[in-house]
Chain A
């Protein structure tokens, strides 16, 4: 690196740098318009859902974006009772939490092993997980149903506990592997010199350092598990004791006349846990994204 000895040159460079900074910080109306426009695009569906949850069909179809004339919670109570959403939320929570735990318990050690494997086998295993991404979800439906029947687990939550982690393991392992690779090998070496075994290294070094990555995976998996519909419908079935809230919700769709206000009120109820989890984990997610940005 060459240092700048001439003060005049240094001043010029500083000025140039400040000039660049001030240019980049200058108010850019086009950027602001685009950002606000994008934010509006995201907010419109949410606004529509919220106001429609307080309306009847006539108001929804005839004045879709008008504010509701009353703020009665009848649609919410109707949705709650007619779709048995209470048990549905409990079932969804059970399925999501247990599947999440199983996924992380399997994915974290797998990612650690792949990240630290130096030989060809590690590469082959990583490619094996990557190949899992190529299987279209719908293609696995029939074999999965047959498997659940053969295991006597058809129309039970237990099969969802086992099946859902299998659907997200490839992406979870591959993403976590990248986070694990960012951990300096020297940390592991010094810990092992101090007598730590692999499990201790994983728990005390790798997991704390890769928490942002684990949080990212957890959020992505939470959204996948919570919003799962097709497999939950077919594998767990419609019984209120077993069905998830996403399967309960379409029970509000009638064959001849659907009350969309009630349906959208039910949809809003199902979204609440997603927002709560996001609020809890969003800082970790942002950390993970920033970590990636700094690296790049």
Chain B
């Protein structure tokens, strides 16, 4: 009998635990804010996030529930909106799927709140422009930006007898030849993911004006654009001259970073998010610059990317409800306080969209210092595809650009495959 009672108690307790499931999305409680975030705890930026959350909780007495999601964040957010259970705020980058959130009604435009919350004056106008959709609505609150230069390992270049970084594509081809002859892999790139896609689109716009690049990347027409075709031909010329490391089409950005950090490639294209992970002994050998340009191209200097779409805040339909919007305002506004923005800039090694602290306040990292001080002088900035290429096309486009890195794929095949994305 006693055994039966014990079993029954265990069974009831187990059932109670099993049935204590709470919603993953917005809480009905007006004093609880659910935030879906791509910023990982245990990282430098995650520590800043924890600090801001603690401050807001202390100031408001509210409970802020951080729900972390990595690469799955857009999928998780979109499906939760379908069930009306989305988080009140989503912190993520403006790229791919999130580009369509306001248009599709799964996020509320930040334009509705920027002036009323006094944030317009705190955010750099370039950042606000970058977050506008085709209707002129600011989609979310811009926060973290990036610089995306080309990294040159001067120690390896010197080993191959190269003393200055290449600024023209002819020099790049010549330097790649010297590096290959010296047994040093030249330019490493994650041809299998977004990093390869961005570099491909950077090279493809070498002969296009920014307006033309914006038109082609947003609506297609690669094959019909002579300038786009010249850019794609340039890409295949570089690829066939072995500028990129062997089997580039199979590499990912993480593999690219690791190989460059280990001194196993002389050049790579990577953004400011990678500065913090660069080994200290590598930093003094790294020179930042742009991607070399062809003669007769649209840019006078080598090109790099910059942008303010690294991360920002989206207000969800749940967060926009009367009961929640006040708490949402306090949470988002806290991030734009000068101390917090400066702390985040230092932790992320990149610029924030906050005017008061546009660049990291304390620069210990030599690569970050070079990005702030040197890069603007030696590069022109190319059109950043993240906010131009339609969100739904981004994933399939990465598959197509990966094929472009495979030897034997000619320019016509590449442009046709890209155009087919816009018509299918």
Chain A residues with CB under 8 Å of chain B are: 57-58, 60-62, 78, 81-84, 94, 98, 145, 148-149, 154-158, 161, 233-234, 236-243, 250-258, 260
Contact = CB atoms under 8 A, between A and B. Distances in A.
Contacts of B179: none
B67 A238 contact: yes
Contacts of B72: 233, 238, 250-251, 253
Contacts of B25: 155, 237, 239
B24 interface: yes
Given A233-B75, A237-B24, A237-B25, A258 B254 contact: yes
Interface of B: 17-19, 21-25, 36, 38, 40-42, 65, 67-72, 75-76, 79-80, 82-85, 92-93, 253-255, 257-259, 261-262, 264, 271, 273-274, 277, 279
A237 B76 contact: yes
A189 to B, nearest CB: 34
Contacts of A154: 83, 85
Contact of B17 (A78, A94, A239): A94
B17 A254 contact: no
Contacts of A257: 253-254, 257, 273-274, 277
B255 A61 contact: yes
27 contacts: A57-B254, A57-B277, A58-B258, A58-B261, A58-B262, A61-B254, A62-B262, A62-B264, A83-B68, A145-B79, A149-B83, A154-B83, A155-B25, A156-B21, A158-B21, A234-B75, A238-B67, A239-B65, A250-B71, A251-B68, A252-B40, A253-B70, A253-B71, A254-B70, A256-B273, A257-B254, A258-B70
Contacts, number: 121
A243 B18 contact: no
A82 B41 CA distance: 6
B254 to A, nearest CB: 5
A238 B65 CA distance: 12
Given A62-B262, A82-B42, A234-B79, A239 B24 contact: yes
A91 to B, nearest CB: 9
Nearest to A56: B258
Contact of A238 (B22, B42, B76): B76
A82 B40 contact: yes
B189 to A, nearest CB: 15
Contacts of B17: 94
Contacts of A145: 79, 82-83
Contacts of A234: 75, 79
A256 B71 contact: no
Interface centre among B22, B36, B40, B257 (most CB of A within 10 A): B40
Given A148-B83, A238-B68, A257-B273, A61 B259 contact: yes
A81 B22 CA distance: 21
Question: Which 3 A-B residue pairs are closest in the complex by CB-CB distance?
Answer: A239-B24, A237-B24, A61-B258
A255 B71 contact: yes
Contacts of A158: 19, 21
B48 to A, nearest CB: 15
A254 B38 CA distance: 8
Contacts of B42: 78, 81-82
A239 B258 CA distance: 32
Contacts of A251: 40, 68-70, 72
Contacts of A81: 41-42
Nearest to B262: A62
Given A94-B17, A250-B71, A255 B254 contact: no
B69 A255 contact: no
Given A57-B254, A62-B258, A239 B67 contact: yes
